Amino acid sequence: MMMPMTFHFDFKNVELLFSGLVINTPGEMAGAFVAVFLLAMFYDGLKIAREGLLRKSQVSIRYSSMPVPGPNGTVLMETHKTVGQQMLSFPHLLQTVLHIIQVVISYFLMLILMTYNGYQCIAVAAGAGTGYFLFSWKKAVVVDITEHCH
């Protein structure tokens, strides 16, 4: 079966992630829409939950001063706050497992988008938007400079 390379709104013979998962009826497409919507919503919730867990597990707050050039050749001391956690700890292990789950879900969502099925693409976008709306209002960090890939 040749995969379409343009957006389409078919619901017959639509493969979703696995070769055995084929959608053939409008009811199956509606069920898949709900499942993909919830998966995208869960992805956004997981991102926010990981941030909260990270904040709770932070230990060893350190302050360090660093010389920086000032006006007229003077040297100013700039203080930086460093927060870390221990590598061999339960919180870090939990963060690692949750990160793996988050990466797998993000690749599943990407592959769903790559099917070019309009219904499934709408489900991903609507689920991500709903997840952001429901979970991100508590988010403390407005812009995460370390987030390179959504």
Mind listing the pLDDT tens digit of every residue in the chain (150 residues)?
Answer: 566 777 888 888 888 888 888 888 899 999 999 999 999 999 998 988 888 777 776 654 555 666 777 777 777 767 666 555 566 777 778 888 999 999 999 999 999 998 888 999 999 999 999 998 998 876 655 555 455 555
Model pLDDT, residue 148: 52
Structural contact between residues 34 and 46, judged by C-beta atoms closer than 8 angstroms: no
pTM beyond 0.75, yes or no: no
Q: Give the chain's count of helices (H) and strands (E).
A: 3, 4
Phi, psi of 66 (to 5 degrees): -135, 130
Structural contact between residues 138 and 48, judged by C-beta atoms closer than 8 angstroms: yes
